[in-house]
Structure 1
Amino acid sequence: MSDIQTSTVSEEGFASTSQVGDFELTIDATDEEGPNPNAVLVADYASCFLPAFRVGGQQRGHDDLGKVQIDADADLDEDDDLEAIRFDIYVEADLDEETLDEILERAKGICHVHSALREELHADATVHGDAF
């Protein structure tokens, strides 16, 4: 039996609706009825990396990072395939650069999406402390 099961349907055009457990997600290659697949992948990556960053902080003795925000941007190649992803991570906690870098490295080992992507597409991440 599978660990994850989804069902995706498109009645017409380029939009599709995916059923993921009790949740429904509309994705549209034309960005008309929902975000496009590449945008969803970048958002999914950031949504996985953020809690991984928090866990990395806990594992380094920093249970309260406060507000954490990831601003992600990505580049597409001439075939509209993802070519590069960048994260700017803003952390409310006032931590030194060395500690933030340790947490960042730990998050890379925890995030399942980071592990699933080909290495050359891993996010180039920069972290900023005392950000809010």
Structure 2
Amino acid sequence: MSDIRTSTVSDEGFASSSQVGEFELGIDATGETGPDPNAVLVADYAACFLPAFRVGAQQRDHDDLGKVQIDADADLDDDDDLEAIRFDIHVEADLDGGTLAEIVERAEDICHVHSALRPELRAEIATHGDAF
């Protein structure tokens, strides 16, 4: 039995609707009626990394990060394939660079999307404490 099951349907054109459990996600390869697959992957990566970052912080005895925001951007090559991803992580808590680097390192070990991506496509990460 599978751990994850999805169903993706396209009635016409390049837009599709994916059923993921009880949730529906609209994706459009042209980016006209929804985000394109590359944008969804970048957002999914950030959405996985953020809770991994919080868990990594808790494992380093930093339970109260306050608000955390990941601003992600990515580069595409000439074939529209993802070439690079960058995260700017803004943390409300006033943590020094060394502490933030330790949390990032732990989050990289926890984030399933980070583990699934080829190494050259893993996010380049900058952190900013006392950000809000």
What's the TM-score bracket when you normalise by the shorter of the two chains? over 0.9
Gaps of 5+ in 2: none
Q: Deviations over 1:49-71 (max 9, x none)?
A: 00000000000000000000000
Match of 1:15 in 2: 15
Deviating 4+ runs (over 4 angstroms): none
What amino acid sits opposite 1:80 in the alignment? D
User: Is the counterpart of residue 41 in structure 1 residue 41 in structure 2?
Assistant: yes
Match of 1:79 in 2: 79
Q: Distance in 2 between matches of 1:25 and 1:98?
A: 38
Q: Distance in 2 between matches of 1:95 and 1:81?
A: 35
Q: Deviations over 1:100-132 (max 9, x none)?
A: 100010000000000000000000000000000
Match of 1:28 in 2: 28
TM-score of the superposed pair, with normalisation by structure 1: 0.99
TM-score of the superposed pair, with normalisation by structure 2: 0.99
* Percent of paired sites with the same residue: 81
Deviation at 1:22, TM superposition (A): 0.3
Give the total of aligned pairs.
132
Match of 1:131 in 2: 131
Match of 1:110 in 2: 110
- Alpha-carbon RMSD: 0.4
Gaps of 5+ in 1: none
Deviation at 1:32, TM superposition (A): 1.2
Q: Deviations over 1:77-119 (max 9, x none)?
A: 0000000000000000001111010001000000000000000
Deviation at 1:33, TM superposition (A): 1.2
Q: How does 1:46-61 map to 2 (within 5 A)?
A: 46-61=46-61
